[in-house]
C-alpha cells in the first residue's frame, strides 16, 4: 500500500526542503499519537487505477 501526504513543505530561503523540520513533525506526531493529515487509501479512488 502507498501512503501520500499533502501538506505545505518547510523550505529554506533558497527553496530547499527543510528535511530536519519534516522529521521533527513526524517525531512530534508519533509522540503525541496525533495524525498530521487525513489519510486516504488507494482503494477509495477506483477511477484512478489504470
What is the reported pLDDT for 20?
95
Bridge partners, residue 11, by sequence: 17
**Containing domain of residue 4, as a range?**
1-35
Q: Is 41 inside any structural domain?
A: no
Q: Is 49 inside any structural domain?
A: no
Q: Is 47 inside any structural domain?
A: no
Euclidean distance between the first and the last CA atom of the chain, given in angstroms as a whole number: 16
The 3-state secondary structure of 1-50 reads CCCCCCCCCCECCCCCECHHHHHHHHHHHHHHCCCCCCCCCHHHCHHHCC
Task: Please count the structural domains in the chain.
Answer: 1
Q: Is 19 inside any structural domain?
A: yes
Q: Is 3 inside any structural domain?
A: yes
What confidence tens digit (pLDDT) does each residue in 1-50 have? 566 677 789 999 999 999 999 889 888 877 876 665 566 777 888 888 77
Q: Is 43 inside any structural domain?
A: no
Amino acid at each position: 500500500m502507498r501512503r501520500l501526504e499533502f501538506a505545505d513543505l518547510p523550505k529554506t530561503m533558497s527553496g530547499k526542503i527543510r528535511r530536519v523540520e519534516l522529521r521533527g513533525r513526524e517525531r512530534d506526531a508519533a509522540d503525541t499519537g496525533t495524525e498530521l493529515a487525513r489519510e486516504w487509501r488507494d482503494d477509495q479512488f477506483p477511477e484512478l487505477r489504470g
